[in-house]
Chain A
């Protein structure tokens, strides 16, 4: 019996202690006619159980029908990035059972390991964002932004009781996965969602359009920087524009490595910073599990979603860590909770902490420096290809940029072992033939050179699709 230790003899002893003749008797509260008759093979049509060896073969068989980023010179990001993950991370978080087979630290005395790492994780997020409160994690960057939107609504409802502040503004190019999740949450919560388009040339927020959209009906405005197209936004400018009508400002960050060099959300003056944690020591797994990080100014603490750990003392005055501020949470506040989140992504947050600790202050900056240098190299190299134009070239970028070439290049590149930038054909009008190119520390000069050469080959003789 897989994973069940009881022998027949023990089963009989247990049944006798309970005072029943068969296990079946224990299910008497389920009407007989509804109970699955295991002798009838048409009921509960599941395959026969397999041993470990068979399952390994089966999974390997499925994986044989896949290829992964490591099989290619890989240039796609768009929210999940092909980073290097140190072996140290897997050894601590995956192979040692102490963290992975524990649960939410409800009993602090036997969960100080978990509580301490969550406290350290919060500290690391505070260090990156400059904001004073961070929670123990959300599901992903997209749902973290949706939760920030809900929080923005709650803060505004509380602060401006006589006003209708049920509009949420998304400024410029925010990751479409994030926008999609916000739309779903907005629809159910009765929030009006307004998307302010960016300027075509710069790829950055159109300051005038944003100003016009930020009325007194707006609870909060979200800006992503670096944005979906890789362009670094003027977040300070958004904060200034939002001041006029007292709108909350949320910054979404899909690549937290950018915080090694870019102005921190706190320095820019934002109220809430959220983002995707995958680039910090988490594997790709088709997009999850990783985690969403969530940080805010101290004044918003009581409206924050998610678990929070605080330092405190024990009965003997010794430093210790405990869950704090549970009165915001669903298990205490029920329908009045700030969010319904319970199970979160703690193990992925642990991975981020190990990653940040192992790279350290200087290593983290070095990672960013390599990314920037490789991105700059890729931009120059691709721009030099006949028929390719780097767009939004006047605007600053960190790890991603857009090129205009021609539609339908993917197949030709894949034949040469390259997964080129992500096609933007479906992203928006006028984006046909454009690609979002992502670079990480894993990208080599050889990869870039190969990509440039293959692009040149693929475009030779093609009508150039660069639209101006």
Chain B
């Protein structure tokens, strides 16, 4: 800044609170059609706040332009290839949001009379049917709001089942592979279970002998992710289920990676007792910058009595009702009917896919991942160089050895090419030999041209690692900010704009 004599305030760089101008207004209400009241008198001595909440004061253009500027700072599926492993960032069809904007959905109040929500209950009933068929399990609840919430519901259902059988006090352990998503152990612990970690075998799969040694009368369940978080289809699902069932324990499947096997195999057919779906991954509910999603679970007959309420029911006369009275239910895990709006979007998508489409999604998701694996062989170390499922895990072993560059450097350099980084450092280092994982999930909706572009960029980055390591260390080069001080964010947290509390 050599000749900066005047400080320039660019509203595009300001927070809403900083843009605020006293007295400015945006939205207005109609004229009050009932007598005006004095708030203090009307609220009969209730304690009032000392000063108004410091919300910003803006015009409509202020608001729209602010968020447009923020929007431009985001990578998103609509704009960028987004191979964030384990998240299934597929295209979200526009019909989803267009239909969801209809007043029949936006103004569907949960306390409307049952006669007025027949179409909604029917939709939920149909969606449950689709998920039953794909899971191969006979009962579904749509109530959980996200994958982790589904896990919790599933574990609670298993817990209630054992408590009912008088085994609640003895079945205290849940087995979780070391490659599992962090939500699995967090869920089991939340429900009061002791978590037992099962080390994966060299192929990232389940070590059957180790599992046998672990399972016993103290085991309530095993939580398994299939395909595994290493992106491999677990070949021994039948044997795993047998080992657990022989000990009277249940097999829970984390369905985060369902996009790879939907329509190819039904988890219920290979012995899974409970599974959750991530409708925001597999069934195109937009990820919304972090949510909302939906995490329905499917269960076997013996677990059905414990599912949350209410449940959509079709009556013999063809009308629909909601069943609230279920004596053995675990209760409610969320208010009303779950993230119904998200369920609607998944239903719209599944209606378009149909039987053939469900299967084809899995096929092309898996083909795309294997294509990337084959094309990048030799340029990056592949953690398990064999047929993968819908995602492939590379590591930074080669780049680390050659130029001391790591997964994070590759990730940041991808941003320069307009590609959202893959998931890095997951699965954990202990399952990738201490190297930084780079987990790539392309999804079935990305064209061959996009995949080829990604492959070429990855090759180019591999070359840059050797020729010009600084290019990676300083990446990204064209973004508003670069390499944040994330330690400071935690050690000196500043969690709100001071102007909102002044």
Contacts and interface: CB of A to CB of B under 8 A. Distances in A.
A122 B496 contact: yes
Contact of B55 (A86, A286, A356): A356
B186 A330 contact: yes
B280 A47 contact: no
Which of A45, A177, A276, A286 is most buried by chain B, counting CB atoms within 10 A of its CB? A286
Contact of B291 (A44, A133, A137, A262): A137
Contact of A102 (B75, B113, B232, B426): B75
Which of A26, A99, A101 is most buried by chain B, counting CB atoms within 10 A of its CB? A101
Contact of A260 (B23, B52, B342, B447): B52
Contacts of A432: none
Contact of B355 (A49, A113, A283, A329): A49
Given A189-B192, A286-B117, A116 B73 contact: yes
A13 B289 contact: no
A180 B331 contact: yes
B489 A322 contact: yes
Given A187-B331, A345-B291, A284 B108 contact: yes
Interface in B332-372: 332-342, 344, 348, 350-361, 363-364, 366-368, 370-371
B53 A68 contact: no
B495 A308 contact: yes
A112 B116 contact: no
Interface string B46-84: 111110111111101001101110111111111110101
B112 A285 contact: no
Contacts of A76: 109, 111-112
A422 interface: yes
Nearest to A232: B46
Interface string B410-428: 0110010000110100100
Given A69-B107, A340-B148, A340-B151, A114 B74 contact: yes
Given A101-B287, A263-B49, A324-B495, A74 B55 contact: no
A288 B288 CA distance: 14
Contacts of A26: 363, 366-367, 370, 387
B29 A419 contact: no
A28 interface: yes
Interface string B461-498: 00000000000000010011111111011101111110
Nearest to A286: B340
Interface range, B side: 35 or more
A327 B490 contact: yes
A314 B482 contact: yes
A120 B351 contact: no
Which of A23, A99, A357, A444 is most buried by chain B, counting CB atoms within 10 A of its CB? A357
Interface range, A side: 35 or more
B17 A361 contact: no
A263 B43 CA distance: 12
Contact of A287 (B32, B289, B340): B340
B493 to A, nearest CB: 4
Given A2-B352, A65-B118, A262 B47 contact: yes
B5 to A, nearest CB: 21
Nearest to B146: A343
A212 interface: no
Given A26-B370, A107-B421, A283-B341, A312 B489 contact: yes
27 contacts: A46-B354, A59-B102, A63-B119, A65-B118, A69-B107, A76-B111, A105-B290, A109-B412, A109-B481, A113-B71, A177-B332, A181-B335, A184-B156, A262-B43, A288-B145, A289-B291, A313-B485, A314-B485, A315-B484, A324-B489, A335-B189, A343-B280, A343-B292, A347-B290, A362-B57, A372-B43, A373-B37
Given A2-B353, A94-B101, A127-B53, 13 more contacts: A15-B367, A45-B355, A66-B118, A76-B109, A98-B71, A104-B287, A127-B500, A143-B149, A267-B49, A377-B34, A377-B35, A395-B44, A446-B33
Closest 10 CB pairs of A and B: A49-B354, A287-B336, A97-B78, A347-B288, A346-B290, A98-B71, A113-B74, A289-B292, A63-B104, A65-B119
